[in-house]
Amino acid sequence: MATSSSFPLISALRSSDLTSRCLPAPGKIAWRDIPSIPQRRLLRDLISPKPPVRASNLKRPLEFGEELRDLAALKVIVNSEAQAKAEAEAKLRELKVKKLREDLEVTDDIANSEAKLLALFLKWLSYFDHHFDVEDEKAFKFRFGIFKESALFCNWWNKSGRSSTCGLNEFSDMTWEEFANSSWKTYPKKANQVIPDYLRKRA
């Protein structure tokens, strides 16, 4: 009887002891008032096991991978289009330069005719900005004389069998001094610097 009656008593003592351990001491904050993880979440995580890894769970990562591949493919397309555009522009510039050289080529027939040199000068004026007032007859004759010297020099140079060729350009009606000053605007001359001979070809 003593044994059977003592069990509830011990249980009650243990219950009261557990209660006293759980209750806060006087003047202290209860454990339940301390910010913590919600009990429901704790119970849910303890009771409900984590779902197994399935292919359906990987749907979003797979979609993200596809987006990355699409972005890489788009980058390749954009780079290809930019490269194609640059190549087309370079080809167009090459064709323009080729046509300009053909139109302003100084042949023996032109070099031996004052009238044809004048016609070539007028054609040259239509391609480049002129450096003088075309209505000024004196300035026109002066610039044409310089242009004629440049044209005759190009014809002589190209017939001499050299590895390089000369052609008329926007500097062909300038004097040596004007051309030298214009050529060195971007790269200022140093003290006592001499302009190299190849800059005097006006080619």
**What are the sequence ranges of the domains in the chain?**
65-103, 105-203
In this structure, what is the dihedral angle of CA atoms 27, 29, 31, 34, given to the nearest 10 degrees? -170
Walk along the chain (203 residues) in steps of 10 and give the mean pLDDT of each run: 48 51 57 52 55 54 62 72 80 81 88 93 82 78 92 92 87 83 54 49 42
What does the alpha-carbon distance between residue 190 and residue 181 come to, in Å, rounded to a whole number?
A: 13
Instruction: Report pLDDT for 9.
Output: 46
**CATH number of the domain located at residue range(s) 105-203 in this protein:** 1.10.287.2250
Rg (CA), the chain: 47
**Which residues contact residue 2 at a Cβ distance below 8 angstroms, ignoring those fewer than 6 apart?**
none
Instruction: Report pLDDT for 155.
Output: 93
Q: Where are the strands (E) in 34-152, listed by range?
A: none
Amino acid at 157: W
